[in-house]
Structure 1
Amino acid sequence: MGFFKKLGFFSAFVFPALVVGGYYLGGWWNYMALAHAFVILPVIDQLLGIDKSNVPEDKVKEVSAEYFYRFVTFIWTYVQVAFVIWGCYVIAMGQWSGWYELIGFTLGFAVVTGGIGITVAHELGHKKEAIERFYSKVLLMTVSYMHFYIEYNKGHHVHVATMGDPATSRKNESFYAFWVRSVFLGYAHAWKIENNRLKRKGKSAFSLSNNMIWFAILPILFAGVMTAILSYFSGTIEWGVAVFFFAQSFFAFTLLELVNYVEHYGIQRKEVSPGRFERVTPIHSWNASHLVSNFFLFQLQRHSDHHANAIKRYQVLDHYDESPQLPAGYSTMIIIAMIPPLWFVMMNKRLEKWHGEHEVSLA
């Protein structure tokens, strides 16, 4: 991978800089991150187009082993933790002209912690190295969505593109109906997976070995500690810190669920026998190989290859022409997904074409 392409993955750090800059500039500048994500980036994506190039097969092992790519994700982890602490600080100690500033600040904040932070957590959570899995959990703690570590790896990747996966959106299902199912059933399924793990080890679900208990406690503990510290220095109880922390978490994981909705809309695997499905291949997720947004999202949009080969590192994910292709990058598609009639008009014909080509009946 060329030098400039490697540096492209540092472009994700533009977003926290926009949020910080927007806060200190004040007023409507607090919407800079939102404008960049959902106006400027889609335009640049359309202008610069799609990158179908893949790392040559004989170079994949070498590029996969390059520490540079892990270094970028490690640095992001530290930046995000510092960013969340700073966000809590300015909520408690800063000056705000009105609610419009707080709304812009919080939504822009969630673009960073959810749009990019959960993407990095998703990447790290698949890896074998303990430090990478630890960093994944730290990032998910900052958005109060730690169960994702269990549900995504042991639930979603197993059941993707089947009716048994809460995070696979159905044809003609609005994003809002999908959100309810994915959030609540995904959380319940993570508990089931963890309880079964403990049962196999002969341990109680109510023991401290239950990761789901820790995953519930740690974000609350973090918010409580930040509130206590900042309240001490301000001389008054800063309830706004906890409200902000959980508000940005809500918008962050909602952004994640928007991405899930877009990535898997209506795709289904063939059932080869009762309860058994064909293996996951690059045709079982929507793909978007737009050059610029894939830098920001660590090639998450090459989602087809990720599901087919979950252990591959982001820098060597391949584009497949046979994968179902989204008409635009995620930034554009998630805005459209929030307008169900427009989404259905744009996507249903593409979905029906895919199902016809692969002889899978629409449920």
Structure 2
Amino acid sequence: MSSFRVFKYASPLLIYVGALRAFTGTGLVVWLPVLYSFVVVPLLELLLRPDPRNLSAAGEELARRNPVYDWLLYAIVPMQWGALALFLQGISTEPLSGADLAGRTAVMGLLCGTFGINVGHELGHRVKKSERALALTLLLSSLYMHFYIEHNKGHHKRVATPEDPSSARYGEALYPFWWRSIAGSLKSAWHIAGAEARKEGAGTFSWRNAVLVFVLVQAALLVLVGAAFGAAALGAFLVAALLGILLLETVNYIEHYGLQRKATAGGYERALPAHSWNSSHVIGRVMLFELSRHSDHHYLASRKYQVLRHHDDAPQMPTGYPGMMLLALVPPVWFYVMNKRARAATGPAEAATALAIQ
């Protein structure tokens, strides 16, 4: 059973194999990873029942100690950079049709979101410095390194409050949320890094400011890509990175939509499972390394992906993450499906307060 669990978490590598085929092929094969992720998986998750079962205490301990779960994440780092190099090489050397160029860029964007940012997110919560360094390496491949600071030191403290740019408010549509979250997260990360630099006796514009360093490193990568592969490849990389970022921000949108922590004399109540939308739909869970068991992640951020738990008191999504992301793209349908669930989860008074804050 333990071996099967490890194997199922290797299933996202099917998307990676499809991506490699897309970067060397033309026609329909180029679009297969996108079709699998946003057509096949959502359809399957409409038919398959979610699995809310948790590991036993003994099973959880075995999974926690099994190093293969970590090795799988480590392997994704060179795989991600190898895929990026293959993508850039193909763009710079092959005469591609508009459809093939768009398909390859979309697939690279999918890798930037699922492997670059999502696996970077998982490793960014680890204690070991080596694992956090791997997280930054992955986030660099998606040009979103400041996420490391804002997510860990901003979002997890302010989640489901009006102060958090990454928590979607009741009645807020996805598209304005993108702008608010991207700009607000960068601003928050800059303030956090600047405060830490000043605490160490350095200025805001110094090498102690991690966000400033991240921006310069990302700029150097763009110069390198442009010099090595040309302007067309550089443009495609920028679009792919943007797609990865929008995938992340769409996930942020669905994870906390309309949920709000109650204010207390000292700030806000502790973040509980009730403050994150949860999904136990299996395909989406393993596709994103259990990210959809988000309630437990916020309840105990240090818990590794393979032992995240289902909570009965967490609000449940009607389907898995891929399907919910598609739903969010059509705001009237999203509101029709989710507003009544948000009111049931938080109460009409809290929902009305969240709407008034916009």
TM-score with structure 1 setting the length: 0.94
Distance of 2:11 and 2:351 partners within structure 1: 41
Distance of 1:356 and 1:161 partners within structure 2: 14
Letter in 2 for 1:340: P
Segment drifting more, 322-331 vs 208-217: 208-217
Q: What residue is the counterpart of 1:3 in the other structure?
A: 3
1:102-121 pair list within 5 angstroms: 102-121=101-120
Distance of 1:294 and 1:242 partners within structure 2: 32
- Aligned Cα root-mean-square deviation (Å): 1.5
Aligned CA distance change for structure 1 residues 114 and 361 (closer, same or farther; 3 Å): closer
The answer (yes or no) to whether the contact 2:91–2:232 under 8 Å persists in 1 is yes
Segment drifting more, 346-355 vs 151-160: 346-355
Q: What percentage of residue pairs aligned between the two structures are identical?
A: 34
Distance of 2:208 and 2:198 partners within structure 1: 11
Letter in 2 for 1:35: L
Q: What residue is the counterpart of 1:70 in the other structure?
A: 70
Task: Output one character per residue of 1:70-106: Cα deviation in whole Å (capped at 9) or x when no partner.
Answer: 101000111001111111111101231x212111111
Deviation at 1:43, TM superposition (A): 2.1
Letter in 1 for 2:120: A
Distance of 2:98 and 2:108 partners within structure 1: 15
Q: Which runs of 5+ in 2 are unaligned?
A: 354-358
Q: Secondary structure at the match of 1:223?
A: helix
Deviation at 1:265, TM superposition (A): 0.2
Distance of 2:142 and 2:347 partners within structure 1: 39
Q: What residue is the counterpart of 1:126 in the other structure?
A: 125
Q: Which runs of 5+ in 1 are unaligned?
A: 231-237
Distance of 1:336 and 1:46 partners within structure 2: 13
Deviation at 1:361, TM superposition (A): 5.2
The answer (yes or no) to whether the contact 1:48–1:292 under 8 Å persists in 2 is no
Letter in 2 for 1:187: L
Letter in 2 for 1:281: L
The answer (yes or no) to whether the contact 1:116–1:296 under 8 Å persists in 2 is no
Letter in 1 for 2:185: G
Q: What residue is the counterpart of 1:210 in the other structure?
A: 209
Q: Secondary structure at the match of 1:362?
A: helix
Distance of 1:272 and 1:223 partners within structure 2: 45
Deviation at 1:28, TM superposition (A): 3.0
Deviation at 1:19, TM superposition (A): 2.1
Matched, 1:19 2:10: no
TM-score with structure 2 setting the length: 0.95
Matched, 1:362 2:352: yes
Between Structure 1 and Structure 2, how many residues are aligned?
A: 353
The answer (yes or no) to whether the contact 2:281–2:320 under 8 Å persists in 1 is yes
Q: Secondary structure at the match of 2:315?
A: coil
Distance of 1:214 and 1:361 partners within structure 2: 39
Q: What residue is the counterpart of 1:35 in the other structure?
A: 35
Matched, 1:339 2:330: yes
Segment drifting more, 122-131 vs 56-65: 56-65
1:189-204 pair list within 5 angstroms: 189-204=188-203
Q: What residue is the counterpart of 2:155 in the other structure?
A: 156
The answer (yes or no) to whether the contact 1:268–1:284 under 8 Å persists in 2 is yes
Q: What residue is the counterpart of 2:233 in the other structure?
A: 241
Distance of 2:158 and 2:330 partners within structure 1: 27
Distance of 2:21 and 2:279 partners within structure 1: 30
